[in-house]
Chains A and B, each alone.
Chain A
Amino acid sequence: MRTILEFGRQSLKRSKARTTMASIPFSFGETDQVLVEEKYSTRIFTLNRPNQLNAVSFPMVQFSISAIELFLACEEDHSVKLIILKGKGKAFCAGGDVAAVVRGITQASSNWRPGAIFFRRQYILNYVMATYNTLSNFTIPLQICMKVSILNGIVMGGGAGVSIHGRFCVATENSLFAMPETALGLFPDVGASYFLSRLPGFFGEYVGLTGARLDGAEMLACGLATHFVLSEKLSLLEDALYKADSSDPVVISATISEFSLAPNVKEKSAFHRLNIINKCFSCKTIEEIILALEREAADKDDEWISSTLQSLKKASPTSLKISLRSIREGRLQGLGKCLLREYGLVWTIMRGEINKDFFEGCRAILLDKDKNPKWEPAKLEQVTEDMVDRYFSKINDEDWEDLDLPRRSNIPPYAIAKLQILS
């Protein structure tokens, strides 16, 4: 087993030549945070911060850089046919370590820049993951290299960002997916406005606004996962994948399918309520969505509706409005544009000039853990259209730098097909 250090450096020169990351300082400070194994033509990346649920950490800004370099390196390394991405412990990845980001900002006399850089690098990573294998140089046919993410545990926020955009996502009975950002005063980012908006009907709005948790069976049913494998079979699956020694998506799919099940979606699952979800979450505004849900609740006593309403009422009103608009715009755009928009939003949020809900949310949920955030504005009707517009408008700020996505071809057809064909 080679370490990340060796592997990364070896291929670094080649990738530097054609990626935009070349100007960013590069170091491998925290080598143990991601483990890389090499087996035949397969590389296994293991997120290795089990005590922090493999959260993408603040010093681990470097992680993103390393990861981008590593992934691009693998893409260029013709001997690599398959990448397996997994997490150590009970989480795949619980997301970006936003608590650390916020602590950094609040302690370092409101220096929000490292936070912005953190998100910036994360989004570039998301983009690289999603466009994996699309030839950036259009004349040389490259060896195709596939990616399989094994989501055996918690997949939240940033964790979804590094996995869902890829070709194969394997869920298990331990999978737990959520985009909980609205409860934190943030919004579903990491390209979620792209993948949530492509779930069936208006399920994406439901998942993104309420932070609803999905299990493995639900992930498979709605299209967030491509396969479901029981965790006890995972080591066999990995062995089979090494041995398959192939980058052919049909072979890989067939290999995973040998271990796959078609699990029942639990009776109480929200996925069985697509009709109500489509009816309510297709409404134009958050206020109308809540009104529609309340109307449904008046018709029948339903625990699911009341808990859905509860989540919406607990979330930051500003976050809800930003999130809804971001998902709606995302549905009509490509992933690149989605990430650019999300980066603009997160930048404005980090600046904290329009409101500070993100810091308040992190304080209440992650730092002080009093679970009682004081949102400002506190009511939906106080969040005016003008305020929301300001988050979405062009940033006139001398510090502003647009997200410089690597120039790659469109998202490969399969990346979209996975989600769209189901809806």
Chain B
Amino acid sequence: MEKVNFRTQILNGHLQNHRHATSTAAIISASPCVSYVPPEVSEQPFSFDVSSMRKLMDGHNLGERDWLFNLMVQSKLFNPRLRGGKVFVVPDYNHSMEQQREITMKRIEYLLDHGVFKGWLTGKGPEAEMKKFALLEVIEIFDHSLAIKIGVHFFLWGGAIQFFGTKRHHDRWLSATENYLIKGCFAMTELGHGSNVRGIETTATYEANTGEFVINTPCETAQKYWIGGAANHATHTIVFSQLNIDGNNQGVHAFITQIRDENGNVCPNIRIADCGHKIGLNGVDNGRIWFDNVRIPRENLLNSVADVSPDGKYLSAIKDPDQRFAAFLAPLTSGRVTIAASAVYSAKISLAIAIRYALTRRAFSITANGPEVLLLDYPSHQRRLLPLLAKTYAMSFASNYLKLLYVKRSPQLIKTIHVVSSAFKATLTWHNMRTLQECREACGGQGLKTENRIGQLKGEYDVQSTFEGDNNVLMQQVSKALLAEYVAAKKRNKPFKELGLEHINRSCPVIPAQLTSSMLRSTQFQNDIFCLRERDLLNRFAAEVSQYQAQGESKESAFVVSYQVAEDLGKAFSDRAILQIAIEAENNVTDASIKNILGLLRSMYVLVTLEEDAAFLRYGYLSTDNAAAVRKEVAKLCSEIRPQALALVSTFGIPDAFLSPIAFDWVAANSWSTVEN
């Protein structure tokens, strides 16, 4: 009965609102004024099959993705809001930090109750991992905080147990983690050390007489910092510490430590403080942890790489501390893989919103008394959004490739995975931030409203260029790895056979002096120019480093001073790798209409890269004439892609409810009848 009354009240309230709507709407619509026309009505029919393209874009587990979207849409916890006749599910970013954290935890419980995390740690094999990636991506489309809080628990805490631990840890923790019987966090970063993990100051000292490790924070810069989950909810943590045995430092190792009891009270000898309010991700309770000589049993050392015997002997199969450290951290690439993938989805959200808006919003007439022009009919607006759309397509293929590479990992692939994931994580997250800013501006004032998502996403996703390795540091590592490859090949006088550098074994490509439109659009030219840039920059980088070394600089400082070429080289590697993945994806398509549009997008991706990266002119890969031809071709491609813009953002697999009011009837969404009086 109560429910019925409640319903009647709601219906009545709804209808009351309608009264204003009809009476004022009648007056308003009597004069010819701007009205909303859905792009589906005003745009040309699609030239390719959108659902087939979605399969290519999402790549895998479409059924699972839709199932999870369904779960979120049907629950009040995901903050459904009615705007302009459509329901949108977007977190309420006007909530306080504490409210955001609380609702994030409740959402996790809801997903847990509905079996979303089933098999995330106990499942085995590439299929289980791909499914986990797909579900995490869907969660990210709703809210980055939710995804990160889940990611910390499963990928960092759970991943550490899985990869650093052995059977005793797996038996005890994996299933408990999957069912949230405990809540894990991951204490690696310190106030004084972030990307440089080897410099951390927390200590773990072994006491043979008690068989315990003593974890200690020796100074303020050793406080654990940014630990997601630590401020409010986590009960356990992986703590990274310098292992001391009999006064000898054995390097960084990981230990399991309980930080809260089952009632949520902080354990003795643990101090926890909040990191405070942030520019985004406020649904994640980042905290700081101090350890005051906390005692943990010897078994809590995660001992897959190295162990300590009860009597205090250090045991490891890997003797070289450098290699030991690398082997130790290798499994953490999963973080970079998921970050790269989610950056692409964030860019997709903003492009879908900005392009849909640009297909319905008009500004200025260009003829006297003529109708105002659709934003996306301005070539300048096309130039702002469509190249980003093309890049997002290319990077979508790149992220799918990276995921597959990761789940099929083997010891032989560790280096490739490290280099590719570093390069793609940096490139894709930078691309996302740039896309968000452009889309925000392209939506004008509407882009500033948090309900329209794009502006808020800037704050939510900015962290991606920093966590799991600062983007600049990662790109330097890419260049270093390429150089190592170069040195090894030259030294042994052997051909390149890894990291896609095989093209260097062939003769150097020649770029024609006069580039025509069809040459510019050929994969041959596109591949040639990207390969040319990469091989030349690698040569230059090697030459510069060895020149500095010849002048007496150490290898390390030679790297540091050669940062300019190193940066160019990292970009060159990444762009070339993405192009080759996109070409392969395109080659695997049989449907002519899809192949055709993918070809246009690929050309746009390459040509806009040529236009934007000064390296092509700086090092003379393109003549100024050719650079002018490239610029012209970009404008031409914009006008060719323009008619397909709606179709292209309809393939992203993001349901309407996860976009925003300005992507649909923004007149209705802002009408007087929706004002709550």
Pair from one complex: yes
Residues of B within 8 A of A420 (CB): 80, 82, 87
Beta-carbon nearest neighbor of B29 in chain A: A141
Beta-carbon contacts under 8 Å, B14-46 to A: 14-16, 18-19, 22, 26, 29-30, 32, 35-38, 40-41
A325 to chain B, nearest CB (A): 7
Residues of B within 8 A of A223 (CB): 7
Partner of B22, one of A139, A250, A264, A422: A250
Partner of A410, one of B63, B67, B85, B113: B85
Residues of B within 8 A of A414 (CB): 18, 85
Docked Cα-Cα span, A332 to B51, in Å, equals 14
Cβ of A220 under 8 Å from chain B: yes
CB pairs A–B below 8 angstroms (16 shown) = A249-B15, A249-B22, A262-B5, A262-B8, A329-B66, A331-B74, A332-B73, A332-B657, A334-B656, A336-B40, A393-B51, A407-B41, A409-B41, A411-B85, A413-B85, A416-B86
Beta-carbon nearest neighbor of A201 in chain B: B74
Residues of A within 8 A of B66 (CB): 328-329, 332
Cβ of A90 under 8 Å from chain B: no
Cβ of A248 under 8 Å from chain B: yes
Docked Cα-Cα span, A394 to B46, in Å, equals 14
Beta-carbon nearest neighbor of A420 in chain B: B87
Decide if B82 touches A409 in the complex (CB within 8 Å): no
Residues of A within 8 A of B3 (CB): 221, 265
Partner of B4, one of A263, A328, A385, A421: A263
Cβ of A253 under 8 Å from chain B: yes
Cβ of B10 under 8 Å from chain A: yes
Beta-carbon contacts under 8 Å, A374-390 to B: 385
How many chain A residues touch B (CB < 8 A): the figure is 54
With A332-B70, A413-B668, A417-B14 in contact, do A248 and B7 touch (Cβ < 8 Å)? Answer: no
Partner of A332, one of B1, B29, B655: B655
Docked Cα-Cα span, A220 to B657, in Å, equals 25
Q: A393-B51, A421-B14 are in contact. List 9 more A-B contacts (CB 8 A).
A: A220-B7, A253-B11, A262-B8, A265-B4, A284-B63, A332-B656, A394-B52, A409-B37, A421-B10
Docked Cα-Cα span, A330 to B399, in Å, equals 28
B51 to chain A, nearest CB (A): 7
Residues of A within 8 A of B35 (CB): 138-139
A373 to chain B, nearest CB (A): 27
A388 to chain B, nearest CB (A): 9
Decide if B51 touches A394 in the complex (CB within 8 Å): yes
Partner of A138, one of B14, B22, B37, B63: B37
Decide if A332 touches B85 in the complex (CB within 8 Å): no
With A141-B30, A282-B114, A329-B66 in contact, do A417 and B82 touch (Cβ < 8 Å)? Answer: yes
Residues of A within 8 A of B113 (CB): 279
* Proximity string of chain A (284-309) to chain B, C-beta cutoff 8 Å, 1 when within and 0 when not: 10000000000000000000000000
Residues of B within 8 A of A253 (CB): 11-12, 15
Docked Cα-Cα span, A284 to B1, in Å, equals 32
B283 to chain A, nearest CB (A): 23
* Proximity string of chain A (167-210) to chain B, C-beta cutoff 8 Å, 1 when within and 0 when not: 00000000000000000000000000000010011100000000
Cβ of A352 under 8 Å from chain B: no
Beta-carbon contacts under 8 Å, B43-79 to A: 49, 51-52, 63-64, 66-67, 69-71, 73-75
A351 to chain B, nearest CB (A): 19
Cβ of B559 under 8 Å from chain A: no
A82 to chain B, nearest CB (A): 14
Beta-carbon nearest neighbor of A288 in chain B: B115
Decide if B22 touches A144 in the complex (CB within 8 Å): yes
* Proximity string of chain B (285-325) to chain A, C-beta cutoff 8 Å, 1 when within and 0 when not: 00000000000000000000000000000000000000000
A206 to chain B, nearest CB (A): 12
Residues of B within 8 A of A141 (CB): 26, 29-30
Beta-carbon contacts under 8 Å, B541-578 to A: none
Cβ of B665 under 8 Å from chain A: yes
Residues of B within 8 A of A197 (CB): 70
Chain A residues with CB under 8 Å of chain B are 138-139, 141, 144, 197, 200-202, 220-221, 223, 226, 248-250, 253-254, 257, 262-265, 278-279, 282-284, 325, 328-329, 331-334, 336, 385, 393-394, 407-418, 420-423
Beta-carbon nearest neighbor of B114 in chain A: A282
Partner of A328, one of B19, B70, B114: B70
Beta-carbon contacts under 8 Å, B224-282 to A: none
Beta-carbon nearest neighbor of A217 in chain B: B4
Decide if B16 touches A408 in the complex (CB within 8 Å): no
Partner of B18, one of A250, A262, A334, A411: A250
How many chain B residues touch A (CB < 8 A): the figure is 53
Beta-carbon nearest neighbor of A330 in chain B: B70
For the A-B complex, the count of residue pairs with Cβ-Cβ distances under 8 Å equals 118
Docked Cα-Cα span, A421 to B7, in Å, equals 9
Residues of A within 8 A of B82 (CB): 417, 420-421
Residues of B within 8 A of A423 (CB): 74, 80
Residues of B within 8 A of A221 (CB): 3-4, 7
Partner of B87, one of A284, A416, A418: A416
Docked Cα-Cα span, A414 to B21, in Å, equals 11
Residues of B within 8 A of A408 (CB): 41
Beta-carbon contacts under 8 Å, B639-677 to A: 655-657, 664-665, 668
Residues of B within 8 A of A201 (CB): 74-75
Beta-carbon nearest neighbor of A262 in chain B: B4
Beta-carbon contacts under 8 Å, B87-146 to A: 87, 113-115
Cβ of B84 under 8 Å from chain A: yes
Docked Cα-Cα span, A312 to B52, in Å, equals 31
Residues of A within 8 A of B665 (CB): 410, 413
The 6 A-B pairs with the shortest beta carbon distances in the complex, nearest first, are A413-B85, A332-B655, A250-B19, A141-B29, A262-B4, A253-B15
Docked Cα-Cα span, A414 to B22, in Å, equals 12
Beta-carbon nearest neighbor of B674 in chain A: A413
B134 to chain A, nearest CB (A): 12
Docked Cα-Cα span, A385 to B61, in Å, equals 12
B661 to chain A, nearest CB (A): 12
Decide if A331 touches B73 in the complex (CB within 8 Å): yes
Decide if A413 touches B84 in the complex (CB within 8 Å): yes
Decide if B85 touches A412 in the complex (CB within 8 Å): yes
With A328-B70, A332-B66, A408-B41 in contact, do A417 and B4 touch (Cβ < 8 Å)? Answer: no
Residues of B within 8 A of A421 (CB): 10-11, 14, 82
Residues of B within 8 A of A409 (CB): 36-38, 41
Docked Cα-Cα span, A310 to B14, in Å, equals 39
Decide if A417 touches B85 in the complex (CB within 8 Å): yes
Docked Cα-Cα span, A254 to B16, in Å, equals 10
Residues of A within 8 A of B12 (CB): 253, 257
A223 to chain B, nearest CB (A): 8
Beta-carbon nearest neighbor of A142 in chain B: B29
Residues of B within 8 A of A417 (CB): 14, 82, 85
Decide if B19 touches A248 in the complex (CB within 8 Å): yes
Q: Which of B10, B40, B70 has the most CB of A within 10 A?
A: B70
Residues of A within 8 A of B75 (CB): 201
Beta-carbon nearest neighbor of B30 in chain A: A141
Residues of B within 8 A of A418 (CB): 11
